Structure 1
Amino acid sequence: MLNISGLIDNIKKYFVKGHSRDKLIKKNILFSYVYKALDICLGFLLVPLVLSYLNEEQYGVWLLLFSLTGYFSFMDVGLSHGLRNKFAEAKAKDEVEKLRYYVSTTYALLAIIGSVFFIVFFIVNSFVNWERILNTKIILNDDLATLSLFVFGAFSLQFVFKIILTILTADQRPSIINLQGFLIKCLQVATILVLIKFTEGSLLILGAAFSMIPIVSLIGLTIYYFNKDYKYIRPKMAYIDFSYLKDIMNVGIKFFFITVAAIVLFSTDNLIITQLYGPEQVTPYQIANKYFGMSLMLFAIIVQPLWSAVTDAFHKDDFDWIKNTMKKMTKIWLLFSAGTLFMLIISPYFFKIWLGDKVHISLTLSFFWFVFIVIQSYNMIYTYFINGVGKLKVQLYITLFSILFNIPASIFLAKTLNMGVSGVIMATTISMLLSAVVKTIQYNKIINLRAHGVWNK
């Protein structure tokens, strides 16, 4: 007979034993899985609800327009990632005064950048031919211009308020971010249900509503945490000192170029597909991404705390902990790869139950998404280690090379070899495979104290 009380005691012991850094990671993983499971359930519910409100081309236009904001994420010039590393380092060294200056100065600069971006976008928006960019004729250009104003206006606000997420992540509390994702999904599902009941399919109304939901969530988190846990580093005018930007930007500028390169690498897929096949083909591509990406999201929950934990361990010379943790991550990756293979096997049946006949997703496309997820999850382990130690130059070079390779390779595989949209994800997969190999080599050099030259910068 199953001893329930004994099982519960063993689970409790697992979460309270080990290094304090391990216990914090376990706690975050547990809560993150709860929040992410709820998030995923609502996410799968959301797709058919939106497709019942919008047609396939409207949905593709929305996905593409929203993804375009990714091109402008680089405007923080690496400040968020730089703050993440410097926050974790300063906290590891108990440098509270530095924390105050880092936080307030970052808020001030990002507020300036976000305001300038929105003003410039507001001016040029009326001159942009959105119908041509999005390759659609079913929505008037004036409506697309209005929608883009909502989307990019919300992006400008998120630009500033997302700093609370950086602080939480740097403080090894990523489970709160997964809670925020769940709350956003709750609001989105509630919103689409109201829209279905009281309005007809309007991309403008849906886009405006969905754009503002993350802002509400971020403002709520910001107010709560700066009045509770982070009251001692609450942003104040007195702690704005732009001389502290040098510390953040020494690391941040490298993250800036890596982020720009990564944005181009991952965001161009939708544009390539739209220009080659039309926006309606973005829908099956992104739905397959959403399905297989579930495995990557679940794996990311485990890997996510690694970045700031590595920063803490590296600055305390705790290399044994890093080695043991990386070995554990590799074993977990193998388990997740097996789980992703199972997702591939059942994918035709799942899509049929989930979407019916609304969208067709080929087994070929599913297979290439499976391969991409397996390689990208492995790549993520070593990316987070390298980000944590701040040795970014090799990663920058390999990411820049991936951009130069990915776009022509995507077009070649999709068009010349007639692989369709599957060729686009295959090209990105090849780029990620090269990145994973190089980062594994750099990890071994750093952890064994054999990194010299570019490998140690």
Structure 2
Amino acid sequence: MAVALKLRHGFGAIARKLHYVRLTPFDTDTAEGRAHERQRRVALSAMASMVAKVISVSTALISVPLTLHYLGAEQYGMWIILSSLQASFTFADLGVGNGVLNQVATLYGRDDFEGIRRVISCGYAILTVVALAIIGLFAALYHLVPWFEIFNVKTAAAQAEAGPALGAFILCFAAAMPLGIVQKVQIGLQRGFMASLWQCAGSVIGLVGVLVCIKMKLSLFWLIFALMGQPLVAALLNSLIFFGFIERGLSPRLRQISLGVMRAISQTGAMFFVLQIVAAATFYVDSIILAQVLGASQVPVYSVPEKLFSLIATVLAMVQAPLWPAYSEAVARGEYEWARRTLRNSQIFAAGFATICSTVLVIGGPTILHYWVNGAVQPPLMLMLGLAIWKIVEGQGNAMAMFLNGTNQIRFLVVLSVVTAVVAVTLKVLLARQFGISGTVWATTIAFSIFMLIPSIMHTRKYLLEHSGH
């Protein structure tokens, strides 16, 4: 009964916040007005993020049959490899983007717009240097490395296209570093909806570029540029319009570059980069471990239902992510009560949403999988239950992570993440051998709960108690 009342309260709070979905900003001269404005920007950013995700997935699905019929078997294989690596754009800035985001959000809470401009200028300087270094290194190695061996292609046509195609990918990868700064700045200023709308435009431009390349019968080199390079045009336009017209006072300047600020951004960015790498090692090695312990034939039995349950985490992440800069700004202003109340509501909503969706998938999952993959995968009940519980735990962990990120407690998160990764990977191997395919997800849940979630909750409660008088 108590849980039901909490869930009802959480969903009621979400429903009451629907009036925040409006274009007109609230008056920010008072604490109450600032609280309303934060909620408005969180709501708009979450909605825009969902729209961007739908468009991104849709354009990707549309491009698959088009390229499959246009390219030969080996060229299509290279296309799949390189397009799947597009996700690595998230790691392209080596954590510097998140370092910029954190500092921008904190300085915004102090109304220090000159400081924000210095951070932006330094962020661009760091990532421009890194991008040029990557391009220079690839150019130096271009004629020395047989790139076609990386893709293991045999035909002469595919071998001839391997180097240029990889070159197009490297150029886009490098350009994404500095061009992604504007999105981090917009998120830090709680205008993530702007970044998402430009991402929508980038996805559409990329699809149009692919269609043009196919119509003109261009090579894989140009297809890669269309898929990955055209969205960067949207990022460039976003930068020019945002810094040139919307926030001219924040536009980067060479004279604003400071070695001290660059060092601070790099240090924070390095910790975020470690977090990203450790998270990847913790949560994305299940298929590799299962293949080694139980054989590759068991991987689809795990990975297919896992993709189904991952939709829960995707939705929660889009809702919770805008809270990160909002926490930073609120804490910088000393408005800890808003942060505490918002964190509580975020946890309640995550618990309710994940519990309902997970229950539906446990009950209806076998039927969904039957129609989705034509009965090719029949996961055991313990795996479905494990995935359900993991998504509930993961939702709570992400809610806590947004608060800890926003309050700049990154070092604490890094320590917990490293310990969790070591324990989780070890447990995955042991439990997979002992209990089979479901062992990996239970290992993740156990390790994450004990070494990440519980310490995070205890640490956050202590932090809020210490600042309860502010």
Which TM class, normalised by the smaller chain length?
0.7 to 0.9
Q: How far off is 1:186 after superposition?
A: 2.8
Task: Give the Cα separation in 2 of the matches to 1:189 and 1:282.
Answer: 31
Q: Secondary structure at the match of 1:448?
A: helix
Match of 2:47 among 15, 33, 41: 33
Residue 455 of structure 1: aligned partner:
none
Residue 170 of structure 2: aligned partner:
152
Task: Give the Cα separation in 2 of the matches to 1:80 and 1:10.
Answer: 30
Task: Give the Cα separation in 1 of the matches to 2:295 and 2:212.
Answer: 30
Q: How far off is 1:407 after superposition?
A: 4.2
Task: Give the Cα separation in 2 of the matches to 1:210 and 1:388.
Answer: 33
Pairing of 1:421-436 with structure 2 (within 5 A): 427-433=443-449, 434-436=451-453
The 8 Å contact of residues 49 and 192 in structure 1, kept in 2 or not, is answered as yes
Residue 395 of structure 1: aligned partner:
413
The 8 Å contact of residues 57 and 279 in structure 1, kept in 2 or not, is answered as no
Q: Secondary structure at the match of 2:466?
A: coil
Pairing of 1:182-261 with structure 2 (within 5 A): 182-190=200-208, 206-249=223-266, 251-261=268-278
Alpha carbons of structure 1 residues 49 and 154: separation in structure 2 relative to 1, 3 Å: closer
Q: How far off is 1:313 after superposition?
A: 1.8
The 8 Å contact of residues 92 and 173 in structure 2, kept in 1 or not, is answered as no
Task: Give the Cα separation in 1 of the matches to 2:452 and 2:335.
Answer: 26
Q: Secondary structure at the match of 2:191?
A: coil
- The reply to whether residue 50 of structure 1 matches residue 67 of structure 2 is no
Structure 1 spans left out of the alignment, 5+ residues: 1-7, 452-457
Q: How far off is 1:35 after superposition?
A: 5.3
Residue 4 of structure 1: aligned partner:
none
Task: Give the Cα separation in 1 of the matches to 2:465 and 2:129.
Answer: 43
Q: What is the identity, as a one-letter code, of the residue corresponding to 1:443? A: T
Residue 447 of structure 1: aligned partner:
464
1:110-161 Cα shifts (integer Å, max 9, x gaps): 1001111222244446666878877888995665554333323211111111
The 8 Å contact of residues 20 and 39 in structure 2, kept in 1 or not, is answered as no
Alpha carbons of structure 1 residues 210 and 48: separation in structure 2 relative to 1, 3 Å: closer
Task: Give the Cα separation in 1 of the matches to 2:378 and 2:222.
Answer: 32
Q: How many residues get paired?
A: 439
Worse overlay, 35-44 or 390-399: 35-44
Pairing of 1:111-122 with structure 2 (within 5 A): 111-122=128-139
Structure 2 spans left out of the alignment, 5+ residues: 1-14
Residue 9 of structure 2: aligned partner:
none
Q: Secondary structure at the match of 1:94?
A: coil
Q: What is the identity, as a one-letter code, of the residue corresponding to 1:229? A: I
Residue 20 of structure 1: aligned partner:
34
The 8 Å contact of residues 104 and 185 in structure 2, kept in 1 or not, is answered as yes
Q: What is the identity, as a one-letter code, of the residue corresponding to 2:40? A: K
Alpha carbons of structure 1 residues 43 and 389: separation in structure 2 relative to 1, 3 Å: same
TM-score (norm 2): 0.76
Alpha carbons of structure 1 residues 34 and 109: separation in structure 2 relative to 1, 3 Å: closer
1:79-106 Cα shifts (integer Å, max 9, x gaps): 2222222212222222222222211121
- The reply to whether residue 103 of structure 1 matches residue 117 of structure 2 is no
Q: Secondary structure at the match of 1:228?
A: helix
The 8 Å contact of residues 305 and 379 in structure 2, kept in 1 or not, is answered as no
Pairing of 1:1-400 with structure 2 (within 5 A): 12=19, 19-30=33-44, 32-33=46-47, 36-37=50-51, 39-40=53-54, 43=57, 46-47=60-61, 50=64, 53-54=67-68, 65=82, 76=93, 78-124=95-141, 143-190=161-208, 206-249=223-266, 251-266=268-283, 268=285, 291-337=308-354, 338-350=356-368, 357=374, 360-364=376-380, 369-400=387-418
Worse overlay, 97-106 or 61-70: 61-70
The 8 Å contact of residues 59 and 283 in structure 1, kept in 2 or not, is answered as no
Q: What is the identity, as a one-letter code, of the residue corresponding to 1:386? A: L
Q: What is the aligned-residue identity percentage?
A: 20
Q: How far off is 1:379 after superposition?
A: 0.7
1:158-215 Cα shifts (integer Å, max 9, x gaps): 1111000110111011222332333343345545666777769x97665443222331
Task: Give the Cα separation in 1 of the matches to 2:187 and 2:158.
Answer: 41
Alpha carbons of structure 1 residues 439 and 280: separation in structure 2 relative to 1, 3 Å: same
Q: What is the identity, as a one-letter code, of the residue corresponding to 1:236? A: R
Q: Secondary structure at the match of 1:385?
A: helix
Q: What is the identity, as a one-letter code, of the residue corresponding to 1:24? A: R
Q: What is the identity, as a one-letter code, of the residue corresponding to 2:448? A: M
The 8 Å contact of residues 182 and 239 in structure 2, kept in 1 or not, is answered as yes
Q: How far off is 1:218 after superposition?
A: 1.2
Task: Give the Cα separation in 1 of the matches to 2:243 and 2:410.
Answer: 31
Task: Give the Cα separation in 1 of the matches to 2:169 and 2:122.
Answer: 26
The 8 Å contact of residues 99 and 269 in structure 2, kept in 1 or not, is answered as yes
The 8 Å contact of residues 61 and 279 in structure 1, kept in 2 or not, is answered as no
Residue 454 of structure 1: aligned partner:
none
Residue 11 of structure 2: aligned partner:
none
Q: Secondary structure at the match of 2:246?
A: coil
The 8 Å contact of residues 191 and 209 in structure 1, kept in 2 or not, is answered as yes
Worse overlay, 17-26 or 68-77: 68-77
